[in-house]
Amino acid sequence: MKTHHTHWHATAVIVGWLVSFGVLVSSGAAAAATNTSTADHSKFKELQQTFKTGPDVTKACLKCHTEAAKQIQKTTHWTWEYRNPANGQLLGKKHLINNFCISEMSNEAFCNACHIGYGWKDDTFDFTKQENVDCLVCHDTTGAYVKAPGMAGHPAYKPIENPPGSGKFIQPVDLKNVAQHVGKTSRDTCGACHFFGGGGDGVKHGDLDSSLSSPGKELDVHMDAVGNDFTCATCHMTTGHQVPGSRYAPTAMDKSGPRMRGKADARNPTTCQACHGDRPHPVKAAKLNNHGDKLNDHARIIACETCHTPSFARGGVPTKMSWDWSTAGKLTPEGKPFVTKDEKGHVIYDSRKGDFVLSENVSPGYTWFNGTVKYTLLTDKIEMIDGVIHINSFAGSPDDGKSMIWPVKVFRGSQPYDPVNQTLVVPHTTGSDDTGYWKNFNWEKAITTGMATAHAPFSGKIAFAKTVMYWPIAHMVAPKAEALSCQQCHSANGRLKEIKGVYMPGRDASKLLDMAGWTIALLALLGVLIHGGLRIINSNKKG
């Protein structure tokens, strides 16, 4: 059979990878759950039945876990909304525009495959219906549970040909088997969505991709699969299904001591300081070595990640650094979309998405950051700075007492906007090739449809603008031996050459200070020469 909706994004690649990934991790994940769980769900009477749909599984789960859905429905993972207390902005996937896949609005049936629910395909979705909660997406340990593209969060219940006409099928999920083997969350379950944010493996964040499924120490000292083996929940310590750690309003500065794990308080347990404290470097008793003191002094205004994540996209998965939508729409002479790949097999052009620039081992950008992020919403008038729209901006300065120097991924794009209303726009990026969607495609039609779905005004005209977004880097923490050296920052062209408001030896120069320093040095030298000469003269007289 053929699906009626196929997203522009590389659906077949993503879903195919997820399926193969599930096979690869299933045995280890299932074994871990069996060894640590106090319950064997395969013996539960409620799970002995054959399930036709995901909501049927949830109904069975709720017979024992009576409060789980109620807890879930109070979380950001469920609502996809967050009210920023710093500036009052209502944020979330229903309100924001980005410069990678642009918007979830108008494309819900595909994008909401990453929602922890079933059936969110439009504004009619019932957020209060408890059986709409998807328990399996976070608690699967088999690796076989995959949400199907274009199914609004449902897995496949029957074979689905993807892409249409390819002869390749997504097979239905054995819901009974998955339900009988649920367990704790893992890097794999979290990563099924978070590794693939923005339309593909490693696309959006750069420090989150499939290489973190089973990383070595050199990639992440905390998640090291044969070392500390942290799961996501080790740091994002969850209470009542509330997962701490927000991309909308991160904790930029944490000056408290280590947090007692398991003890509830108002602090964010995901910060480095929550475990390591705000003086993380050991100080030797001997006064001859103050290296630890100096590093701890740096830690007052420099985020731990700045030194300890010297680069991201280090695991062999490249991250997209730019996305140019303006070149999308090219077709073959036969009127079909096509892709172009680089020498490593990575897509660098797709008719359905435009041009990409991908990179590995990327050095971050750096900025002052106090935890407040301002986003450009659909209704906001755009502002261009040097010809570029900053879709989000990090607040912070060296003088506010709340900011630290943070590493960020700088993601650049070119995307459509409304030159009359001076607003960013929502394109409808869902359409199947077999229905002639691409043969008859045009940007104006796509955006008219998207803006109508988003209930936003549109003049009918579009232009393309350069855009930029920033994402804080918080994962892929390298071993301490790989942390930045002094010279990598303290030099004229060092990592922090663009950071303003602080004096950095080796980077900055002052003619007055240089003159004073050389004068003092010269006087000291003259003093030594005069003193030495007098000693020689006096010695000769005595002789």
Predicted confidence band of residue 291 (pLDDT cuts 50, 70, 90): confident
Q: What is the pLDDT of the chain when averaged over all its residues? A: 87
Given a contact cutoff of 8 angstroms between Cβ atoms, the answer to whether 182 and 135 are in contact is yes
CA 263 to chain centre: 27
* pLDDT digits 0-9 by tens, 5-62: 334 333 333 444 344 333 333 333 433 444 577 899 999 999 999 999 999 999 999 9
* Interval 356-380 mean pLDDT: 94
* pLDDT digits 0-9 by tens, 462-490: 999 999 999 999 999 999 999 999 999 99
* Interval 222-235 mean pLDDT: 96
* pLDDT digits 0-9 by tens, 323-357: 999 999 888 898 888 999 999 999 999 988 999 99
| Exposed/middle/buried for residue 225 (C-beta within 10 Å: 0-12, 13-18, 19+) | middle
* Interval 64-68 mean pLDDT: 97
Query: Which alpha helices (H) appear in 159-262, and where do they start and end?
Result: 175-179, 187-194, 232-235
Q: Give 45 or 262, the one with higher predicted confidence.
A: 45
* Interval 92-119 mean pLDDT: 90
pLDDT score for 102: 92
Report the percent of the chain where pLDDT is more than 70: 89
* Interval 387-414 mean pLDDT: 95
* Interval 438-455 mean pLDDT: 85
pLDDT score for 23: 31
Amino acid at residue number 343: E
pLDDT score for 285: 63
Query: Which alpha helices (H) appear in 80-231, and where do they start and end?
Result: 108-111, 136-139, 175-179, 187-194
pLDDT score for 478: 97
* Interval 105-133 mean pLDDT: 93
Check pLDDT > 60 for residue 111.
yes
* Interval 214-239 mean pLDDT: 95
Check pLDDT > 80 for residue 535.
yes
Report the percent of the chain where pLDDT is more than 90: 63
Tokens of 456: 């936003």
Q: CA–CA separation, 103 vs 469, rounded Å?
A: 14
CA distances from 388 to 97, 328, 396, 466, 468 (A): 15, 20, 20, 5, 7
pLDDT score for 217: 97
pLDDT score for 329: 86
Least confidently predicted of 68-77, 86-95, 366-375, 422-431: 86-95
Per DSSP bridges, beta strands 319-324 and 404-418 are: parallel
Q: Residues for the chain: how many in total?
A: 543
* Interval 292-311 mean pLDDT: 94
SS3 536: helix
Strand ranges for 199-317 from DSSP E = none
pLDDT score for 439: 64
* pLDDT digits 0-9 by tens, 484-522: 999 999 998 999 999 999 988 888 877 787 788 889 999
Q: Count CB atoms within 10 A of the CB of residue 266.
A: 4
Q: CA–CA separation, 25 vs 15, rounded Å?
A: 15
Least confidently predicted of 76-80, 91-95, 173-177, 452-456: 91-95
Q: CA–CA separation, 426 vs 428, rounded Å?
A: 7
Q: Count CB atoms within 10 A of the CB of residue 368.
A: 22
pLDDT score for 16: 42
Check pLDDT > 90 for residue 175.
yes
Check pLDDT > 80 for residue 290.
no
Q: CA–CA separation, 10 vs 18, rounded Å?
A: 12
CA 99 to chain centre: 14
Per DSSP bridges, beta strands 347-350 and 388-390 are: unpaired
pLDDT score for 298: 92
